[in-house]
Amino acid sequence: MTAPTKPTETARNAPGEDLHAPVIDWFDEHARDLPWRHPDAGPWAVMVSEFMLQQTPVNRVLPVYEQWLARWPRPADLAKDAPGEAVRAWGRLGYPRRALRLHGAAVAITERHDGDVPTEHAQLLALPGIGEYTAAAVASFAYGQRHPVLDTNVRRVFARAVTGVQYPPNATTAAERRLARTLLPEGERTASRWAAASMELGALVCTAKNESCHRCPIAAQCAWRLAGKPEHDGPPRKGQTYAGTDRQVRGKLLAVLREAHVPVPQTALDRVWDEPVQRARALDGLVSDGLVEPLPGGLYRLPLT
């Protein structure tokens, strides 16, 4: 008697495989035409954009980005200027320590890598001011390498589409990093496109508020939508306040110093904020962060070294 034939198991798709094609196809059709995505942008342009885009919307970044690259088209050009000039050119993008970090990275690139943005993830990560996200983003977007790139938009897409919750945790977790690695396509080019596409999907469709599920290419597979879009039940999400905070005072103090090309007296800074204790605390913080240099005689300027 012939033994029964064992049923053939259907091959399973690799994790995330059913998400890759629709998201990348959507990106190919709907991606914004941004200058750092142009083929001729180059790794330095990508790095500049990544520094500027952290916690700052694209529409605010675009004019500063264009001016920055017109003035400093290569890392060596920025490295030759004083760090205070980077802070001045940063304008009102916010979080101006990013300008100092970008200047520090430009100096290191010039000194360690002959002025070329390094290609290796580990070398990028070794640059001052560059963390895991920026190193992965530059390696992926500038060099087409295979790295998980986890920003707020990507984390939200993964939280909804795969994990089935409305929002990711307030801070990136080890579980999110594992998931991102699991979802990463095998091929380098596809992985790089996936990184950009999932980020764009979060920025344009799977937004924090008023998500557009009817425009989403993976709505049919989205675990959160299929579960009925349950409300967020985790820790309260962090809100960003500005008015009346030390951040606002710091911004006003820096605005005076950016507009001045000679040292500024204390009296000029005193005029920007009435509350003396908060004003002094904000100024001390700027000095501690290396964004402002105190001089003898109660004068202040943007840093020269």
Torsion angle of C-alpha atoms 58, 172, 208, 224, degrees rounded to 10:
140
Task: Report the C-alpha gap between 108 and 115 in whole angstroms.
Answer: 8
Question: In the prediction, which pLDDT does 6 show?
Answer: 39
Of 208, 230, 161, 211, the closest CA to residue 22 belongs to 161
The answer to pTM > 0.75 is: yes
Per residue in 172-196, pLDDT (tens digit) is: 999 999 999 999 999 999 999 999 9
Label residues 3-29 b or e (16+ Cβ within 10 Å = b): eeeeeeeeeeeeebeebbebbbebbee
Q: Is the dihedral of CA 65, 71, 77, 82 positive or negative?
A: negative
The domains located in the chain, with CATH, are 33-143 (1.10.340.30), 152-226 (1.10.1670.10), 246-301 (1.10.10)
Measured at the CA of 251, the angle between CA 247 and CA 252, to 5 degrees, comes to 120
Question: In the prediction, which pLDDT does 237 show?
Answer: 75
Question: In the prediction, which pLDDT does 239 show?
Answer: 67
> On the CB side of 137, how many CA atoms lie within 13 Å of its CA?
26
293 is catalytic: no
What token pair was written down for 218?
């993976």
Task: Report the C-alpha gap between 128 and 27 in whole angstroms.
Answer: 32
> On the CB side of 93, how many CA atoms lie within 13 Å of its CA?
30
Q: Which member of 9, 29, 50, 275 is catalytic?
A: 50
Task: Report the C-alpha gap between 70 and 154 in whole angstroms.
Answer: 30
Q: In whole angstroms, how large is the CA radius of gyration of the chain?
A: 23
Question: In the prediction, which pLDDT does 242 show?
Answer: 85
Low-confidence ranges of the chain (pLDDT < 50): 1-12
Residue 59: exposure state from Cβ atoms within 10 A (0-12, 13-18, ≥19): exposed
Other beta carbons less than 10 A from residue 304's beta carbon: 10
What token pair was written down for 136?
């992965």
Measured at the CA of 32, the angle between CA 159 and CA 67, to 5 degrees, comes to 115
Question: In the prediction, which pLDDT does 8 show?
Answer: 38
What token pair was written down for 95?
């979080």
Per residue in 31-48, pLDDT (tens digit) is: 999 999 999 999 999 999
| Average pLDDT over the chain, rounded to an integer | 94
